[in-house]
Structure 1
Amino acid sequence: MKFGKEFASQMVPEWQEAYMNYNYLKTLLKEILIFRRRMTTSAPVKPRHSASLKRRVSLFRAFSGLTSRYGNTSPKKDKEDEVILVSAMQEADEEQGDQDSRSYQTIFLRSSKDGGEFELVFFKRLDHEFNKVNSFYKEKVEEVVKEAEELNIQMDALIALRIKVNDPYAVSPFINQKTPGSYPLETIKESETSEEKQEERSVDGKEYNMASLEVLNQVKINATKETPVATMKSVFHLLKSDFNFNKNELKEAQGKLKQAFIEFHEKLRFLKNYAFLNQLAFSKIMKKYDKITSRNASDAYLQMIEESYLSQSDEVAKLIDRVEAAFVKHFCNGNRHQAMDTLRPKAKREKHRVTFFVGCFFGCSLALMVAIIVVIHNRDLLNSEGRTLYMDTIFPLYSLFGFLVLHLLMYAGNVYYWTRYRVNYSFIFGYKAGTELGFKEVLLLGTGLSVLTLAGILSNLEMQMDQRTQSYKALTELVPLGLVIFVLLIAICPFNIVYRANRYFLLVCLWHCICAPFYTVTLPDFFLADQFTSQVQLLRNLQFYVCYYGWGDYKKRDGEACKKSDVYDIMYIIIAVLPYWIRVLQCLRRLFEGHDSTQALNGIKYFSTIVAVVARTIHSQKKGITLQIIAGATSVFATIFSTYWDIVKDWGLLCRNSENPWLRDKLILPKRSIYFIAMVLNVILRLAWMQTVLNFTDTAFLHRNAMIAIVACLEIIRRGIWNFFRLENEHLNNVGKFRAVKSVPLPFSHEDGIKHL
């Protein structure tokens, strides 16, 4: 792999604007190369054996040694051979002796020669890129140093809380004694009495500084677990932040601080890799320059880089060592192997068996679809008397799985293109490192579920056709219910099978949606709620499951009995409105928290959709011109409002004065036409509600339930398209703010200016 591609693949996606623009500098070098070739009238032809001769001669060169035993043997350059002069321009802070605030400028000494203007442009751009990299690195280092100071205070409080909880009587003068120059990162094993602690003060001849409990008087606990009850108490100001000194507080505080250390260590690793990659990129680009121009300018420039803050600063390396040592000691009981597995998770390896089973399940799905089509054609089921009865009862039961499989396939496509265009979906969703599902794993789930669903459909057809199984009609009707129970059991299975971490993550987000607005709304929470707004028909099919099997209608295959009740009609509306109502509550929670004032308009958007859905559902149940007009008017308003929000707010498009007219300044996809096509498709698919208002479902050639299923599939496809551009916009927002690490709430709050005790 060429260095340019390797360089791009190892970038932190959210920091890509801060890296050296290697490709642009290569373009400038190509311009220099093109000019020099034009100026060359004739190129000497090298003999064929020159390359092999050069390699043969290099084999006889003296070995310089692994430790540079001969010293620096490169010949000293005369001033006449100098190509560039690099000088450090002092800024305002430099007058006070701050050597880190330099900006560097290169003077090209051969500008008078032919083509010198091209090289002047190259070095000017090179200086700009290096100053950008150096400045960004310095800014980030200062940021992590401040974060380290905050973590020091948090660790002081955690250690003091450990001592207080595990030994509440440990308040002797010895424990509160402060040794000059002590640093509260060393802890000793807690014991039952202070006398035993006094004996452990010196272990193996080493003096251990005891942590002070005085820090607990200057901090407050924030480690209360977020629950609906805790949220209600905080609303009515009943939730106190004082210490109770119990083990639950200690457990929650330790869990939060452990996660903060993990995220901080990841940021440090990003910074270390950032410095290394950029230094390597500057070395590569200067060597290319020397090769193209036959000059020797790289030594002087790379020497400047070696003396710069980017190369000389060692704060990041020291912080990494200290964070790892503290994590091993305080969070892993001295088990370094366990600590390194947590702090430095191994890269996720692609498993070939996943690819194999995806192909296997996909082939089985195709075979089962062909078998179903053959059975329907041979038995002429489309013209049979039981066609209508089958579409009214069995079809809604199985279409639920069809909607779920289609959603999984769309999500697999999203993951594939997010990965291809380096949209950091794992960070955006907040997955635990190494647990995110790739597109093949999602395809595995989708194709596996499709095999089970198609096998169930075929078994229903065969059982009804076989004369020997006619007496087991009630049993055949239970096949869809068995599939639903199987999927639910897999979803809540506590064992480490079928991607347990992802299932747990999904269930937590689902619980947050159900309990809205009692939990802080994060992106995964409202993203999942948005998915449910496109799966209204799936939720209604679940309602039919309860009706069909709960009322015992499956015994006689009669799904119309419970549908005729008023309770079913009311629940039919409530089920459709529920996902939108969850989004309204989430918008209100975000509005009251003050994170985004536009959430008021977003809540109104979802409320207008609720009105439109209720109007359309009542019209489909009772008909009438007046209801049709009301349903049409409310649907038009909700569609215009929602379409505007999708394209302008969620996707960030339709910016008139952007670099890409009517799109946005930054685009990930290479072709701008794709964005315009997506906007048009969003508008068209948003109009799917018209089939209800204009009675498109009542057609002679297609059953009503089949038309409803088609419209529901179109909405799922629209949501899949929306998902990609929504996360692309979120990713670009993170890139603009250089936000590459999750911000973790810390367990303790304190007054400004608190010092280590």
Structure 2
Amino acid sequence: MDPRAVSSPLQVFNNVAAETVVYLANLLLYYKILMNRFPPILPAGCLPLLLCFYVIFQVIYPVHKSKEFWRVIIRSLVAPLCKVDFFATYVTDVMTSSVKTTQDIAWTFCFFLSGDFLLNLEDYHRKGLSWQHSAVYVNLVIPALCVLPLWLRFQQCVRRYHDTQKRFPHLANCLKYSMSFTVALFGVFSPPHSTTTAVKILWFVMYVVSTLYTFSWDVLQDWGLGHPMYGFLRKKRLFPRSSVYYAAVVLDLVLRFNWLYSLIPPGHNPLPFMHSSTLPVVITTNVIVCEFLRRTMWGFFRVENEHLNNTEGYRSTDHVPLHFTTPTAREKPRKKGVLVIGEVLAVTVGGIAMATAAIMAARDQMRASP
């Protein structure tokens, strides 16, 4: 990002403090009007709508600070039609940790567009939210939001393979995201009240395998750790204490299971050892918070490793000369061929096939369940 457009820590703190005050004041006024303890200047449901407009304004303004962010978002959405840089992949990785938040945003849009925010408590308890159980929302909107960030990263890996002609790490990374959205789709489309334990155990095995593969990728590839001669870390490190890296590895292992489960939408519980078909709200909240903390921790070591080692080859040269040195960078060789295009198509078709198989298996289970 442009350094001139980056806010200082004090500005970030001031913005957070101001938005928190606005949110708490809006929440207090909402409950006061709802409980008839404040003159009803306007319907209570209009206050959350005003809060949403305020948040949208904060995201867009000032334009010179937000345009780079939106540019990267657009570049991520059109992958693999354009060249992929490190910042685009980093932002899309963050998007994979924001699935629950994105689902809440979709719920908010449907809530306001349907006009249900104007319902009083009696009408709400009598009618409920009819759109929340509609086929379009349950079978299209929510599943699409669950797998869209994973699919975008999958396509970015395909584009990176096309540009670099290197099967590793890009095709191996494609496999990682294929496994993740296969597990997510199976969990989304499986019947929430199914009593078939065998199917839940199969899903759980897929869940564990995908999580361990993703965790291994974090440690070995994204962070560049795991070298026995350096204490299973790496030679070049920016953090002075080795304990920081060991603690990060342990936390990432635990929280990676939390991340994959965050892809399962509300109302679904494919786990064989939990009898309830839905997750309590408090667990969902903790899942969101823990995943944001894990992704923040992951980002520190990911940027550190890429800065030191250029692991993904985003720089076209192996050596970055200083202003007082003679440029002696060695350009990386490039290969072209029809074989690369064929492999790209094969990987894409394979990813689609895995997702389709997961949906079909879950649908068959739904038809078989009473």
Class of the TM-score when normalised by the shorter of the 2 chains: 0.7 to 0.9
Q: 1:671 to 1:459 in 2, by over 3 A?
A: same
1:436-585 matched pairs, under 5 angstroms: 436-469=6-39, 472=42, 475-493=43-61, 497=62, 500-556=63-119, 558=124, 560-570=129-139, 571-585=141-155
Structure 2 residue 204 is matched with structure 1 residue 632: yes
2:285 paired residue number: 709
Go from structure 1 to structure 2 and tell me whether the alpha carbon gap of 1:683 and 1:583 turns closer, same or farther (over 3 Å shift): same
Contact 1:460 1:476 in 2 (8 A): yes
**Paired residues of 2:192 and 2:270 also in contact (CA < 8 A):** no
Deviation at 1:441, TM superposition (A): 3.2
What is the aligned counterpart of 1:682 among 226, 248, 252? 252
Match for residue 223 of structure 2 among 651, 658, 679: 651
Match of 2:306 in 1: 730
Aligned counterparts of 2:145 and 2:179: Cα–Cα separation in 1:
16
**Ranges in structure 1 where 5+ consecutive residues have no aligned partner:** 1-430, 742-757
Cα 1:507–1:739 shift into 2, 3 Å: farther
Residue 607 of structure 1 deviates from its aligned partner by 1.3
Q: CA deviation at 1:612?
A: 1.0
SS of 1:617 mapped into structure 2: helix
Whole-Å separation in 2 of the counterparts to 1:562 and 1:483: 22
**Residue matched to 2:240:** 670
| Secondary structure of 1:521 counterpart | coil
- Which amino acid counterpart does residue 59 of structure 2 have in structure 1? A
Q: Give the counterpart letter for 1:526 in structure 2.
A: T
Structure 1 residues 77-156: aligned runs within 5 Å? none
Query: AA paired with 2:212?
Result: I
Residues 639, 553 of structure 1: alpha-carbon distance in 2 compared, 3 angstrom cutoff: same
Indicate if the aligned counterparts of 1:615 and 1:627 stay in contact, CA closer than 8 A.
no
2:219, 2:249 within 8 Å by CA — same for their partners in 1? yes
What SS is found at the alignment partner of 2:226? coil
**Aligned-residue CA RMSD (Å):** 2.8
Q: Which has the higher contact order (CA 8 A, sep 6+)?
A: 2
Question: Is the 8 Å Cα contact of residues 697 and 708 (structure 1) preserved in structure 2?
Answer: no
For the residue of structure 1 that corresponds to 2:4, the secondary structure is: coil
Map 1:14-413 → 2, pairs under 5 A: none
AA aligned to 1:631 is W
Question: TM (normalized to structure 2)?
Answer: 0.73
Match of residue 642, structure 1, among 205, 214, 227: 214
1:603 — aligned with what? 174
Q: Count residues with an aligned counterpart.
A: 300
Residue deviations 1:165-187 (CA, integer Å, cap 9, x gap) = xxxxxxxxxxxxxxxxxxxxxxx
Q: Would the alpha carbon gap of residues 732 and 437 (structure 1) be closer, same or farther in structure 2, given more than 3 Å must change? A: farther
Structure with bigger gyration radius: 1
Alpha-carbon distance in structure 2 between the residues aligned to 1:698 and 1:481: 33
- Aligned pairs for 1:693-708 within 5 A: 693-694=270-271, 698=276, 704-708=280-284
- Distance in 2 (CA, whole Å) between partners of 1:446 and 1:586 is 32
Decide whether the 8 Å contact of 2:220 with 2:226 is kept in 1. yes
CA distance in 2, matches of 1:613, 1:569: 14
2-structure distance, mates of 1:565, 1:433: 45
Sort the Cα spacing of 1:527 and 1:726 in 2 relative to 1 into closer, same or farther, 3 A. same
Give the AA of the match of 1:651.
W
Contact 1:615 1:630 in 2 (8 A): no
Quick one: distance in 2 between partners of 1:670 and 1:720? 19
Query: 2: CA distance between counterparts of 1:482 and 1:441?
Result: 24
Q: 1:599 to 1:566 in 2, by over 3 A?
A: same
Deviations 1:483-535 (A, max 9, x none): 22222234334xxx4xx433111010011111111121111111111111001
Following the alignment from structure 1 to structure 2, what is the Cα–Cα distance between the partners of residues 654 and 674? Answer: 14
1:484 maps to a residue whose letter is C
Change in 2 beyond 3 A, CA 1:446/1:740: farther
- Relative distance call for 1:740 and 1:609 in structure 2 (3 A) is farther
Structure 1 residue aligned with 2:164: 594
CA contact (8 A) 1:573 1:614 kept: yes
Please give the alpha-carbon distance, in whole angstroms, between the structure 2 residues aligned to 1:549 and 1:590: 40
Match of 1:174 in 2: none
Unaligned segments of structure 2, at least 5 residues? 263-268, 324-370
Could you state the TM-score of these two structures normalised by the residue count of structure 1?
0.37
